[in-house]
């Protein structure tokens, strides 16, 4: 199991058609250069939540704000890149319990707690994310506003992948991924082989053991028809949250029943070679 940090836990090009929300398709819009923070850049490069409004008068959303998640105790960035804003002010706000909004930033300056928030090129960074940071955030550019939801998350204690029955060539077998005790339970995605073929649409996803606190398990199961060519192929399950991709993952190397692994074949070859040398020496 590997835990990918918030700065590198976002997958880029192969998510060109996805937003991290099952069934939701992003618009096909403008590409953005690599001047963005590393954990935001893959969204821009893949076309996710980016927008080119150059045909319109006024400012341009290069990256339009999108729902975002971040682990508790780490920093979370709400992506927003704007150009051609002219005299318009850019203000980040947070919605309070009564529905009103409190201003957090004004253009490039933090208007509230500088130990809690930072702003750069109009991205809003929440420092040392806590559960109390959850809620609706709004960016206002002049009279135009965009609301997004920020979700602090507790990562799973464990992500595991296992066979429900013995994997063998020519058989159709079930493989399961489980993310244990996360708040909220993540969505689970499947990738296979060196080309990271996306198998997620073949899987059945559900949650279980969900407590009133929000903690619970995420489970994804799919049936795979195996062939001899699947031997030693890697299959990976990734835990995703809204706007926070590949937060954790587990990779399983497929070992078919009755088929020796490449390592075992190599050991047998070395043993055979050693025996041949000894036999020739004896003669």
pLDDT on residue 243: 94
3-state DSSP assignment of residue 23: coil
The three-state secondary structure class of 268 is: helix
The class that CATH gives domain 2-152 is mainly beta
Name the pTM for this structure: 0.72
8's tokens: 């590198």
Closest by CA to 154, choosing from 197, 200, 217, 202, is 217
Please name every residue paired with 174 in a beta bridge, in sequence order, or none if there are none.
223
Chain segment 188-230, per-residue pLDDT in tens = 999 999 999 999 999 999 999 999 999 999 999 999 999 999 9
* 282 CB neighbour count, 10 Å cutoff: 6
User: Which residue do the tokens 């070859």 mark?
Assistant: 269
CB 160 within 8 A of CB 1: yes
**pLDDT number for residue 83:** 87
pLDDT at residue 283, rounded to an integer: 54
Under 8 Å between Cβ of 152 and 131: yes
pLDDT at 258: 77
Q: d(Cα 139, Cα 93) in Å, to the nearest integer?
A: 6
DSSP letters, 112-177, are S-TTTEEEETTEEEESS--GGG-EEEEEEETTEEEEEEEEEEB--SEEEEEESS---TT-EEEEEE
Provide CATH 2.60.40.10 ranges for the chain: 2-152, 158-253
CATH homologous superfamily, domain 158-253? Immunoglobulins (2.60.40.10)
What pLDDT is recorded for position 281?
57
Helix (H, G, I), strand (E, B) or coil at 178: strand
Q: Quickly list DSSP for 18-29.
A: --SSTT------
CA end-to-end span of the chain: 51
pLDDT of residue 168: 96
Where the chain has pLDDT below 50, the residues are 1-57, 261-275, 277, 279
Q: Residue 187 in contact with residue 20, Cβ under 8 Å?
A: yes
**78 closest CA partner among 112, 127, 24:** 127
Closest of 244, 250, 216, 264 to residue 11, by C-alpha: 244
């Amino acid at each position: 199991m590997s835990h990918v940090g918030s700065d590198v836990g976002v997958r880029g090009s192969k998510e060109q058609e996805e937003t991290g929300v099952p069934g939701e398709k992003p618009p096909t819009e403008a590409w953005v250069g690599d001047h963005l923070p590393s954990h935001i850049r893959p969204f821009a490069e893949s076309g996710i939540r980016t927008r080119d409004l150059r045909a319109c008068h006024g400012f341009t959303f290069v990256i339009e704000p999108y729902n975002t998640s971040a682990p508790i105790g780490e920093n979370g960035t709400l992506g927003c890149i704007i150009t051609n804003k002219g005299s318009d002010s850019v203000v980040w706000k947070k919605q309070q319990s009564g529905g009103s909004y409190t201003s957090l930033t004004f253009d490039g300056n933090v208007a509230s707690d500088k130990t809690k928030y930072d702003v750069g090129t109009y991205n809003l960074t929440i420092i040392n994310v806590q559960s109390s940071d959850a809620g609706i955030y709004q960016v206002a550019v002049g009279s135009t506003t965009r609301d997004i939801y920020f979700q602090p998350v507790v990562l799973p204690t464990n992500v595991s992948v296992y066979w429900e029955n013995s994997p063998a060539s020519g058989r159709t077998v079930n493989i399961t991924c489980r993310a244990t005790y996360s708040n909220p339970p993540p969505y689970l995605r499947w990738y296979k082989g060196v080309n990271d073929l996306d198998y997620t649409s073949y899987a059945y996803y559900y949650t279980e053991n969900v407590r009133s606190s929000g903690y619970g398990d995420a489970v994804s199961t799919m049936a795979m028809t195996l062939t001899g060519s699947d031997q030693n192929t890697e299959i990976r399950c990734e835990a995703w949250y809204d706007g926070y991709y590949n937060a954790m993952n587990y990779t399983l190397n497929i070992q078919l029943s009755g088929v020796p692994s490449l390592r075992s074949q190599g050991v047998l070859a070395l043993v055979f070679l050693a025996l041949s040398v000894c036999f020739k020496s004896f003669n």
